[in-house]
Amino acid sequence: MQSVPSLYIVPTPIGNLADITRRAVEVLESVDVIAAEDTRHSAILLNHLQIRAQLLALHDHNEQQRAATLIQRVQQGQSVALISDAGTPLISDPGYHLVTRCREAGVPVVPLPGPCAAITALSASGLPTDRFSFEGFLPAKEKARDDRLAELIDDPRTLVFYESPRRLLETVQAIARLYGERHVVVARELTKTFESFQRLPAPEMCVWLAADDNRCRGEIVLMIAGHRPEADALPAEALRTLQLLLAELPLKRAAALTAEIHGVKKNALYKWGLEHTSVCSSEDEPL
Ligand code: SAM
């Protein structure tokens, strides 16, 4: 591959080495220099791919100064790839200053699509994906963490966080205290041997996590269902009826029958159905 002098943003696997894309390998093979968060860590991946490019460290503490060097190299006709330890650079990882300065200097920035723990977790969480908010890491200090959680309490979007295994239980306890019965999903060790997903109301999740240390181990994406008061208020029996009827009927009809049986709002059932089922028939015109 002949690379145009540019900064390439190259996602790398978040656990399973087979998740590197063909284009990512081609770019990493062709560039003059690879800027990496931790060169020793990235050397393992690059050795595995038999790539022998020059590696340069770019991390939170030297990004400003390294950005100038890297921009100069692109302006002199070289190509640079930016990788992080895992996943997509800039997503809770270094690279923001470098990309901003490239944009300011008119240096082409070429992003490659690829692994990202937040999106991987969200896609299999079973929580609504139509709207979501990526919140990165919560503050480590208790007061700041609780303030941030309190700010987000009425957000209707699915909330996606990165969380450290050491803080997971305390964070979920804070969520239970502030958000009550709201559902949370813990996605652990994505793409690896012990990948797991658990979805429970926050108070039950605290009990489940506390019951076994292994449930807090590894790399974690924590998600909170958005605030959707209508759906939250639907009785469990009505949702059960709706789910049974949905196996046989289009959503519109199933919602109408469930509303009649349980005396709940048809619109709320219909909305719940849209968010929790992937199949809608042509009969499912909006109510
Ligand atoms: N840039 C990365 C991305 O695109 O996902 C994220 C980097 S951030 C420093 C690392 C955090 O991402 C971990 O602490 C964890 O919360 C999450 N993470 C990374 N790999 C993961 C995995 N395999 N399973 C679950 N979470 C993961």
Q: Which residues contact 215 (CB under 8 A, 6 or more apart)?
A: 186, 188, 198, 208, 209
User: Would you say the CB of residue 135 lies under 6 angstroms from ligand 1?
Assistant: no
Query: Is 286 inside any structural domain?
Result: no
Provide the number of structural domains found in the chain. Answer: 3
130 token code pair: 């139509």
Please identify, among 115, 146, 172, the residue that sits at the C-terminal boundary of a domain: 115
Q: Are 259 and 270 in contact (CB under 8 A)?
A: no
User: Would you say the CB of residue 171 lies under 6 angstroms from ligand 1?
Assistant: no
Q: Are 273 and 242 in contact (CB under 8 A)?
A: yes
Query: Residue 65 has what pLDDT?
Result: 92
User: Would you say the CB of residue 88 lies under 6 angstroms from ligand 1?
Assistant: yes
Query: Residue 1 has what pLDDT?
Result: 59
Q: Distance between CA atoms of 183 and 275, rounded to whole angstroms?
A: 14
For ligand 1, what atom is nearest to the CA of residue 118? 5
Answer yes or no: do 23 and 107 share one domain.
Answer: yes
Q: How far is the CA of 196 from the centre of ligand 1 (A)?
A: 14
Residue 187 CB neighbours (<10 A): 24
User: Would you say the CB of residue 90 lies under 6 angstroms from ligand 1?
Assistant: no
Answer yes or no: do 239 and 138 share one domain.
Answer: no
Q: Write the CATH number for 99.
A: 3.40.1010.10
User: Would you say the CB of residue 195 lies under 6 angstroms from ligand 1?
Assistant: no
Boundaries of domain holding 212? 118-227
Q: Write the CATH number for 168.
A: 3.30.950.10
For ligand 1, what atom is nearest to the CA of residue 187? 25
Parts of the chain with a pLDDT under 50: 279-286
Query: Residue 279 has what pLDDT?
Result: 47
Query: Residue 271 has what pLDDT?
Result: 84
Please identify, among 98, 115, 132, the residue that sits at the C-terminal boundary of a domain: 115
